[in-house]
Amino acid sequence: MKILHREASNTLERTELWTVQPDGYDQKYLITITRPSLPVQRPHGLLLTDGNYVAGTAMQLLYFLEIGNLAPSNVVVSIGFPLDNPVPPMVARNQDLTPSAWPEWDASYGRILGLSCPPSGNCDRFRTFIIDELKPAIDAEFGVDPGEWTLAGHSLGGLFTTHTLLSAPHAFKRYFAVGSSFWWHKPLMFDLARTFATSTEERDISVYLGVGDKESWEGLREEWGELLETPNWKEYLELMQNPDLVRDNDAMAAILATCPGMRVKAETYTNETHGTAPFVAMSQGIRWLYGK
């Protein structure tokens, strides 16, 4: 990984911004890194996808959890895209967070947003970049304990987080996924989870799966209303098999709860939508993951 540029943030305290280039493929990322407010010898690490949307919220929340003794000191790392990235973050993320190519979905989602989506299905290379390049650089620079990392993501980020658990479970000690897109090529994720659960290996891993109660199929219909009757939305939702994230969240948790040694919790938040659930989940989930 090449660090192309680094500077102190002039809006977020204790924060550096790194523009980096992976060794294995041509993409620049904006990495937002916040040091703990209370310096310690070996801080934990919290790594979040969708840094363009969550960096400020995550670092402020961890500050209050830390000073309230509700979480240990964490270096908070968010992965996003530079603002001059040729593809907006909302669609650039699709290529990194999805486990399989789905050209029909790419085209359908692009029609809804009025944008051209990059090809999906490259989460393996993104995960390799995180595990082999980014995490070691953060460990070396900020003294993070390599055995005390948490991976967090929302929506497609929750899909990526859970896929990482199922593909490289020991890369992180804690997994935090909210509003996860388990509808992706369904039943792909459930098949992977059932295979994962057949292992007799004892894994010291904690998994928190959160979702808003409005993320059921009925809730999504209520939230989006007449939009769902338009041709583009109808096509989009048919591809996704009329998703019910509440049902899928519970189903995934039930499978993972059978894994030896793993600590798993699924939580549904009252009166929260796909867009609002992450703000509730971040506090509840991080505290649960640390036994608080």
pLDDT of residue 225: 81
Per-domain boundaries in the chain: 61-76+88-289
- The rounded distance, in Å, linking the Cα atoms of 255 and 145 is 29
- The rounded distance, in Å, linking the Cα atoms of 29 and 110 is 22
CB 124 within 8 A of CB 95: no
Find residue 91's DSSP bridge partners. Answer: none
Find residue 19's DSSP bridge partners. Answer: 5, 30
CATH of span 61-76+88-289: 3.40.50.1820
Which of 261, 105, 270 lies closest to 197 in space, CA to CA? 261
Q: Amino acid letter at 221? A: R
Block means of pLDDT (10 residues each) for the chain, length 292 residues? 96 96 96 92 96 94 94 97 92 96 96 92 98 98 97 98 97 98 98 97 97 93 84 91 96 98 97 94 96 86
Model confidence, pTM: 0.96
Q: Are strands 15-21 and 29-34 parallel, antiparallel or unpaired?
A: antiparallel
List of residues 6+ apart from 181 with CB closer than 8 A = 155, 156, 158, 159, 243, 245
pLDDT of residue 288: 97
Q: Are strands 149-154 and 263-269 parallel, antiparallel or unpaired?
A: unpaired
Which of 133, 131, 154, 140 lies closest to 22 in space, CA to CA? 133
Q: Are strands 149-154 and 174-178 parallel, antiparallel or unpaired?
A: parallel
| DSSP line for 196-228 | HTT-------EEEEEEEGGGSHHHHHHHHGGGG
- The rounded distance, in Å, linking the Cα atoms of 100 and 191 is 14
- The rounded distance, in Å, linking the Cα atoms of 133 and 258 is 32
Q: Which helix (H) or strand (E) holds 32?
A: strand 29-34
- The rounded distance, in Å, linking the Cα atoms of 124 and 163 is 9
- The rounded distance, in Å, linking the Cα atoms of 131 and 72 is 22
